[in-house]
Amino acid sequence: MLTPDRVVTTTCPYCGVGCQVDLLLKDGLIYRVNGRFDNEINRGSLCVKGRFGYDFIYSPDRLKTPLARDAHGGYYDITWDEALNKVARNFERIRQQYGPDSVAFLTSAKCTNEENYLMQKLARGVIGTNNIDHCARL
Ligand code: SF4
């Protein structure tokens, strides 16, 4: 069996259950993911996503910067400041033109509770809509 250079304890990135995992690394690459037994959440178990779904980490197709659409339907790199300003300007324009309920927010189980809380504050407190939902709501 391969001996890891390093073991990183973390939380599975896939859903709100929050299973605890050990990432086993060799030469800087994750080669195995084990469920941790020392917690009340997953007690060593992982579903197929949490156990095997880590190929995306090394994909050359991962986005490294925000993208904006050009006039021909293509994309070009922009900075985070440019992206956030663009989103804020467009939110404000749409809200002014069509009203606050023309905008909706969908949050993700991949976000932390704090990030989800901030998203509803943005929706209700800044945009002025209750159109806020979450992918894990049944
Ligand atoms: S291992 Fe499966 S159930 Fe556990 S947090 Fe990850 S995706 Fe959710």
- Fold assignment, 6-58: N-terminal domain of TfIIb (2.20.25)
Each domain of the chain, given as residue ranges in start order, spans 6-58, 63-98, 100-138
Digit-coded pLDDT (tens) for 26-41:
999 999 999 999 999 9
Q: Which atom of ligand 1 is the closest one to the Cα of 17? A: 5
CB atoms within 10 A of CB 17: 14
Burial label for 19, CB within 10 Å (0-12, 13-18, 19+), is: buried
Q: What is the pTM of this model?
A: 0.69
- Which ligand 1 atom is nearest residue 13's CA? 6
Q: What is the pLDDT of residues 50-85, one digit of tens each?
A: 999 998 899 999 999 999 999 999 999 999 999 999
Structure tokens at 13: 């990135």
CA 122 to chain CA centroid, nearest Å:
17
- Among protein residues, the one with the nearest Cα to ligand 1's atom 6 is 50
Q: How far is Cα 127 from Cα 95, in angstroms, rounded to an integer?
A: 7
C-beta of 16 in contact with ligand 1 (< 6 A): no
| Nearest protein Cα to ligand 1, atom 2 | 47
Q: To the nearest 10°, the Cα dihedral for 14, 15, 20, 26?
A: 0
